Amino acid sequence: MTLVADTPLTPEPEAVGPSPPTGRLLRSALGLWRTRIGITLAGAMIAVALFGPYVAPHGPSDFVGAPNSSSVGTFGTDHLGQDVLSRFLAGGRSILAISAAATLIGLVLGSIVGLVSAYARNLLDDGLMRLMDVILAFPQIMLALVALVTLGPKTWLIIVAVGGTTMPRVARVIRGAAQPIVERDFVAAADALGVPRWRILLGEVLPNVLSPLMVECSLRLTYSIGLVATLGFFGFTPNPGGADWGLMIFENRLALTVQPWGVVLPVIAIALITLGTGLLGDGVARAAAGIDRGRATE
Amino acid sequence: MSEVQAPAIVVENLRITLRNTDIDIVDDVSFEIAPGEVLGLVGESGSGKTTAGLALLGHCRRGVEIAGGSVRVGETDVLALDTLARRRLRGGIVSYVPQDPAASLNPALRIGTQLRETLEVHNYGADDEARRERLAEMMREVLLPDDPAYLRRYPHELSGGQQQRVGLAMAFACRPRVIVLDEPTTGLDVTTQAHVLNSVRDLTELHRAAALYVSHDLAVVATLATRVAVMYAGRVVELGPSQELFETPSHPYTRRLIGAIPHISGKRQLAGIPGRAPSPGNRPKGCFFAPRCSWKIDQCTVELPPLRSVSNGHLARCIRAEEVRAEAGLPSGETLPADAVSVEDAVLSLRSVHSAYGGHTVVHDINFDLAPHECLALVGESGSGKTTLARSIGGLHRERRGEILLNGEPLAASSRGRSREARRMIQYIFQNPYGSLNPRRTIGQIVRQPVELFGTGSDREADKLVGEMLERVSLTAAYAERYPDQLSGGERQRVAIARALICEPAVLVCDEVTSALDVSVQAAIVDLLAELQRDLGLSMLFVTHNLPLVRSIAQRVAVMNHGRIVEMGTVDSVLLNPADDYTKALLADTPSLEAATT
């Protein structure tokens, strides 16, 4: 006998060609204006930080004129007589590199904790999440300051302090997103086949929480940049004499009325890049909401 | 019949399209319903039956608009009313009973409050006292207690059937002239369903309301409706008196649909419908059913035939309706011989198995043997413990006592405690194909997964095997590139079957594998499973709540109630001569086409 199937008799009309949901997510996110603006802003600021030092007219620590003078160079000099533009162009690298590294650590650790917690559903879940709650109980900046005051402003320590305090925030979100996923039957199916647990977490669960993870990624990057800049403002930078957007704001704040550029330039830069990453995250979140409800506009 | 009476609602040339496009979801739908009459609107998912039903309230989903036609209730044209007037109409003159009562009742409000709200919004009754009386009367009408303590309950304190009766009470509260019921018994047990259907029948008669009963379940519609309209691809393809329509279907689609329904009385193969219903915007020229129709002639592809009369009050949208009508007997597969089963060398044996949730035992003392090449059906209502038992066998439920033996070897409770071989030999197919396939993986990756775990072959061999398995379940190797969300429910379930088959299992545990699917798809899946079981010599445990379905696939059946097997035997003996009271009640409550049409 022939099998009767509900398979199409004619070639599938609605097949749009295979495309992984994650690819679809990015494409539909790029279709939103907020995402495009976000990428432009963040991209511009990253470009300034990366290539700035090569186009700077002076070295970041060169003395080029009288302190707080607005007549030297494009944006004048700072409180020590160094060129503001050159310091601004040089001051983005460390802050962005440190923020990115810290965010990455926070995301990786937080995802692991979140996934394991959601999948374990037992004492381990409780233990991990209460630990996260303890870290969450302290403001991020306070824990970071305590660590830096105790051990000194070292690059690795700033990264660990910011990343470590980012972790519980990511963990909560990922656990929440993964909880309904681990209850789905495809996870049970993998369990029944005896797929190793780490492969279930990475292969079955993680791909299904990528949308919130991507949103979290840009959101946490935004916060990390702010935090690292704040630490710089308080003088906690690995290179105290060097250029750093946060430090520049602190150094030049007294001369704000006389020579505002020393403060305004880094403030604008930090504002634009956080705005950019924020918009980017928002765009991804909106696209994800559309796709997850099955209303992707393609 | 009530020809003399003016119809309560007249729908004419209803056309519903995707907003701002010319793509129609529903078109050319016309019917009328007399007071006290129940019109059944039958169709498979995507046929537009719910969309058409909602249009009777002047409502449509987001992104959809009513583009033409009229819906007249008495003298009022519903579609000509403004938003405010439509809102006043809904619940008062035309009311609606949604599919899922749990989702339609506000979980934060007491049911009394919600019922009173309906009356107050529509200014029903002169004062609070009158409303209170009406409230009590409503509760009595739907056979619920009317004491204040009951009305102070929250929806979650009610069972599914009680919730749906509250939904019915709410819909009938203001004595509407028209009521639209959208699959109100889907998801309810047969016993509960029988009660709710009785309530619907009594209330429509009592209040002389015109009811549109939207459903995919032909048997339910046959027992309830006076007239039936069959929808396919957004058109009514056949409309006629219930009994006549089911006895002499005049449209090929109706015939095939009836052929896809399992029958309790005779063991026969189910016949699915080949192909898939065309989606809006992709409908073929001519008759929409032509590509799937065995009656097709050249003329069928020229233009969509009109709905025309084939006998008194019986309309069909087919140019060969008379020939279809004249065809004797309903289409169905050959009658299968009842085969004997010996359970001497059982593949799977259960010895006093108990399963529990958090110390609370829900499955008690289960003993049975599953022979090689045998299909044992496990039947029961929701909460009977049948799924828990199936999951215990599959190693997905850990809290269990007693012994489960696979070829004489005891199995650990958890699948991870079992040997690789044991995990391979018992394969589990889940109820919901929308949940059992990872949406972020391609079909190829999903089907391949077991090969990566159990297999030893190369990548190329694995790919070849995946292709073979997909073809085995009547898909093509090309499906390997797709993602689950590009597949229909039936196709997804086939993929799940392929994933199980690729392990070369000895025992297949099927947990309600067709309950999320349309009848024609269900027929095809059951057909496939039965064929695989025969050809590959699989042993199968087929868990279902659908008694007639058991006929078409199983040799033996075990009936479960409250976690115990109350009756077990060959399909014939259990279904035709049930010994246990519970089985008898279950059989009596199961709606069937035969009982309704004879």
pLDDT digits (tens, 9 = 90+) for B434-461: 888 988 888 988 998 888 888 767 788 8
Residue of A9, A193, A201 to mutate when probing chain B, most B C-beta within 10 A: A193
User: First vs last Cα of chain A: how many Å apart?
Assistant: 42
Distance from first CA to last CA of chain B, Å, rounded? 18
Tell me how crowded residue B19 is: count the other CB atoms within 10 A of its CB. Answer: 12
Alpha carbons B309 and A267: distance in angstroms, whole number: 79
Shortest Cα–Cα distance, A293 to chain B (Å): 12
Rounded to an integer, what is the distance from CA A102 to the centroid of its chain?
Answer: 9
Q: Are B401 and B354 in contact (CB under 8 A)?
A: yes
B438/A207 touch (CB, cutoff 8 Å), yes or no = yes
B396 and A191: CB-CB below 8 Å? yes
Which of B291, B394, B494 is nearest residue A192 as measured by Cβ atoms?
A: B394
Interchain CB contact of A122 with B (< 8 Å): no
Three-state secondary-structure class, residue A105: helix
CB contact under 8 Å between A208 and B449, yes or no, is no
Q: A125: distance to nearest CA of chain B, Å? A: 18
Q: Which of residues 379-398 of B touch A (CB under 8 A)?
A: 394-396
Give the integer Cα–Cα distance in Å for B404 and B370. 11
Give backbone dihedrals phi and psi of A105, rounded to 5 degrees, phi first.
-60, -45
In Å, how far are B184, B556, B590 from B195, measured between CA atoms? 12, 29, 11
Q: Who wins on pLDDT, B423 or A235?
A: B423
The pLDDT-based confidence of B279 (bands split at 50, 70, 90) is confident
Name the residue among A13, A185, A294 with its Cβ closest to that of B436. Answer: A185
Distance CA A222, CA B414 (A): 44
Beta strand B210-215 pairing with B178-182: parallel
Flag whether residue B515 sits within 8 Å of chain A, measured between CB atoms: no
15-74 of A, contacting B, C-beta below 8 A: 15-16, 18-22
Nearest to A192 among B415, B431, B494 (CB): B415
Task: Convert the pLDDT of each residue in A143-153 to its tens digit.
Answer: 888 888 888 87
Confidence tier at B340 by pLDDT (50, 70, 90) = low
What span, in angstroms and rounded, lies between the C-alpha atoms of B310 and A1? 34
CA A289 to chain B, closest CA, distance in angstroms equals 16
CB of B318 closer than 8 Å to CB of B252: yes
Nearest to B493 by CA among B472, B519, B521: B521
- B333 contact residues in A (CB cutoff 8 A): 1
Phi and psi at B576, nearest 5°, equal -95, -35
Residues of B in contact with A207 (CB under 8 A): 438, 440-441
Q: What residues of B are in contact with residue A190 (Cβ under 8 Å)?
A: 449
User: A69 vs A81, A86, A253, A264, B450, CA distance in Å?
Assistant: 7, 15, 14, 15, 72
- Which strands form B539-544's sheet, in the order they lie side by side? B426-429, B507-511, B539-544, B375-380, B556-561, B564-570
Nearest CA distance, B413 vs chain A (angstrom) = 11
pLDDT of residue A11: 34
Cβ pair A261, A75 in contact under 8 A: yes
The DSSP result for B159-209, as a single string, is: -HHHHHHHHHHHHHTT--SEEEEESTTTTS-HHHHHHHHHHHHHHHHHHT-
CA distance B469 to chain A (A): 14
pLDDT band at residue A20 under the 50/70/90 scheme: low
What value does the mean pLDDT take over residues B250-262? Answer: 87
- In this predicted structure, the answer to whether residue A12 has a pLDDT above a threshold of 70 is no
pLDDT by residue (tens digit) across B12-47? 999 998 888 888 889 899 999 999 899 999 988 888
Instruction: Tell whether A3 lies on the interface with B, counting CB pairs under 8 A.
Output: yes
Q: Which residues of B touch A188 (CB under 8 A)?
A: 396, 430, 436
pLDDT at A295: 41
Give the pLDDT mean for B213-239.
90
B268 touches chain A (CB under 8 A): no
Kindly determine whether residue B430 and residue A20, on different chains, have CB atoms separated by under 8 Å: no
The answer to whether the CB of B385 falls within 8 A of the CB of B355 is yes
Local structure of residue B544 (DSSP, 8 states): E
Whether B324 has a pLDDT exceeding 70, the answer reads yes
Interface check A194 vs B, CB under 8 A: yes
User: Which pLDDT value is given to residue A297?
Assistant: 36
The answer to whether A82 contacts chain B (CB < 8 Å) is no
Burial tier of B132 (Cβ tally within 10 Å: 0-12, 13-18, 19+) = middle
Tell me, what's the pLDDT at B179? 92
Note the Cα B104 to chain centre separation in Å. Answer: 19
E strand residue ranges, B374-453: 375-380, 400-406, 409-410, 426-429
pLDDT of A119-136, one tens digit each? 988 888 889 999 998 988
Task: Return d(Cα A96, Cα A99) in angstroms, integer.
Answer: 5
* Of residues B572 and A71, more confidently modeled: B572
Complete DSSP assignment for B469-508: HHHHTT--GGGGGS-GGGS-HHHHHHHHHHHHHTT--SEE
User: Chain A contact for B358, CB < 8 A?
Assistant: no
Which of B420, B440, B473 is best to mutate for the A interface (most A CBs within 10 A)? B440
Fill in the amino acid letter for A113: V
Q: Do B486 and A1 touch (CB under 8 A)?
A: no
B 145-184 → A contacts, CB under 8 A:
none
Q: Quote the minimal CA–CA distance from A214 to chain B in Å.
A: 15
